[in-house]
């Protein structure tokens, strides 16, 4: 089966954008893979993946007590490494503490490709050969809806249950985190090159779209949820509860800026080169990129708009058919100890979902500890908004309109 076979034309084009220059094409060290959102579930049904009629998980015997091992699939460059890149300190500490041997694989490079890889086994009620996987929220939602993610036993998750930050506890696709726990999170914010703006601060989507001083030097993202989500917020709408009319209004708002030559381009993460050089004065940006850019260029600034920002998560799940669920749960819980979460955050530079990390990070790297793109402050937490789940029909309609907006 071709990866995009059976998808509607707008959704297929959206995937191609993401894989070519969006978040899905990049390593986790740079930025998180975004994908299409929960509505991609409907699109994937067109690929021959059965629609979820219930969430009954195929049960398998748990051999954890007899077999002290597990297989962990994650994204590339998404775990702490030693300077010589031969060791993963936090993972090796887990093995030493528990006696559980972890086979770690960074074989996830894209949500859709990985899902296609494990789907035949899951659909047949067989083991995927993996006990723990990390998937972006929309794909995690699909796994849960299909009954392909095992419910977690809170008995083995005391740290995770206690230390999971409040705003991550009840996503609409997994209330109460019955099947998943976040690995890391990401924020979509506004960035600008202070030298290119001649010291002028850029602090809102309205300024990006209207400020004549920025004309022709603005970039917005080629990912629908980021660009439209941020625009909805700027218009006083909530991305977690917007209507189709709200979406159309946001598209029209951005279209006006396109027609007026205010926007230079819609990009994937190639905006980073333009932002660093000053060819792009200001843009909508991904926090994972900015942490890296600021390390090399102090002229790069970021702003949390007064209206708020879009956030998403990558999530740990135990796939159906896993025979080492308890071992996997113990590993999930391991990363919700603040000292362990701090070691991870200091290396990957993404938003930690674990509370109590700040004090531990201060012992490792004060700059990282005080970076709100990694440890959000109270203001940033209060302004975080998820982009709501979409139906298959909405996904197709919205992607079609967005593709026309950005000329894709």
pLDDT value of position 5: 52
pTM attached to this predicted model: 0.73
What DSSP letter does each residue of 140-181 carry, written as one string? HHHHHHTT-BPPP-GGG-HHHHHHB-GGGS--TTSGGGSSEE
Q: Has residue 288 got a pLDDT over 90?
A: no
pLDDT value of position 33: 35
Mean residue pLDDT across the chain: 86
Q: Has residue 200 got a pLDDT over 70?
A: yes
Reported confidence tier of residue 404, pLDDT bands at 50, 70, 90: very high
Q: Has residue 77 got a pLDDT over 90?
A: no
Which of the listed ranges 1-5, 33-37, 162-166, 167-171 does the model predict with the highest average pLDDT? 162-166
DSSP state of 302: E
| Relative orientation angle of helices 325-334 and 89-98, to the nearest 10 degrees | 130
Q: What is the pLDDT of residues 1-48, one digit of tens each?
A: 444 554 556 655 555 555 555 554 443 434 333 333 333 333 333 333
Q: Has residue 373 got a pLDDT over 50?
A: yes
Task: Return all residues near 84 (Cβ < 8 A) that are at least 6 apart.
Answer: none
pLDDT value of position 22: 54
pLDDT value of position 9: 62
Parallel, antiparallel or unpaired: strands 180-193 and 282-286: antiparallel
> What whole-number percentage of the chain has pLDDT above 90?
63
Region 69-92 average pLDDT: 93
Query: Can you tell me whether residue 75 is helix, strand or coil?
Result: strand
Q: What is the pLDDT of residues 138-161, one digit of tens each?
A: 789 889 989 999 999 999 999 999
Q: What is the pLDDT of residues 343-353, one digit of tens each?
A: 999 998 889 99
Going by C-alpha positions, the residue among 175, 150, 61, 140 that lies closest to residue 328 is: 150
pLDDT value of position 17: 55
């Amino acid at each position: 089966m071709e990866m995009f076979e059976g998808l509607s034309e707008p959704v297929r084009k959206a995937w191609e954008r993401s894989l070519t220059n969006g978040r899905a094409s990049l390593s986790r060290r740079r930025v998180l893979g975004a994908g299409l959102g929960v509505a991609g579930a409907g699109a994937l049904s067109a690929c021959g993946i059965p629609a979820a009629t219930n969430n009954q998980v195929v049960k398998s015997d748990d051999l954890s007590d007899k077999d002290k091992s597990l297989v962990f699939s994650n994204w590339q460059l998404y775990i702490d490494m030693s300077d010589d890149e031969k060791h993963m300190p936090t993972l090796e500490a887990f093995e030493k503490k528990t006696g559980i041997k972890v086979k770690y694989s960074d074989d996830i490079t894209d949500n859709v490709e990985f899902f296609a890889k494990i789907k035949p086994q899951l659909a047949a009620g067989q083991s995927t050969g993996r006990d723990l996987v990390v998937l972006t929220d929309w794909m995690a939602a699909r796994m849960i809806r299909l009954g392909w993610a095992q419910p977690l036993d809170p008995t083995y998750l005391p740290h995770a249950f206690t230390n999971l930050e409040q705003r991550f506890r009840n996503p609409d696709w997994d209330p109460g985190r019955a099947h998943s726990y976040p690995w890391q999170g990401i924020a979509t914010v506004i960035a600008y090159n202070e030298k290119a703006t001649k010291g002028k601060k850029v602090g809102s989507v309205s300024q990006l779209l209207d400020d004549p001083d920025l004309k022709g030097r603005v970039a917005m993202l080629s990912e629908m949820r980021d660009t439209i989500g941020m625009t909805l917020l700027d218009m006083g709408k909530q991305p977690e509860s917007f209507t189709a009319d709200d979406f159309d209004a946001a598209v029209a708002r951005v279209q006006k800026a396109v027609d007026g030559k205010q926007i230079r381009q819609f990009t994937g993460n190639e905006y980073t080169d333009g932002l660093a050089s000053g060819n792009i004065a200001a843009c909508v940006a991904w926090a994972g990129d900015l942490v890296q850019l600021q390390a090399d260029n102090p002229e790069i600034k970021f702003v949390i708009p007064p209206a708020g920002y879009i956030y998403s998560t990558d999530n740990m799940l135990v796939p159906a058919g896993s025979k080492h669920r308890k071992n996997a749960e113990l590993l999930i819980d391991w990363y919700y100890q603040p000292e362990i979460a701090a070691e991870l955050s200091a290396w990957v530079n993404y938003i930690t979902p674990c509370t109590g990390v700040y004090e531990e990070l201060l012992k490792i790297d004060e700059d990282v500890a005080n970076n709100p793109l990694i440890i959000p402050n109270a203001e940033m937490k209060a302004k975080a908004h998820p982009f709501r789940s979409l139906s298959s029909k909405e996904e197709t309609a919205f992607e079609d309109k967005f593709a026309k907006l950005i000329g894709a």
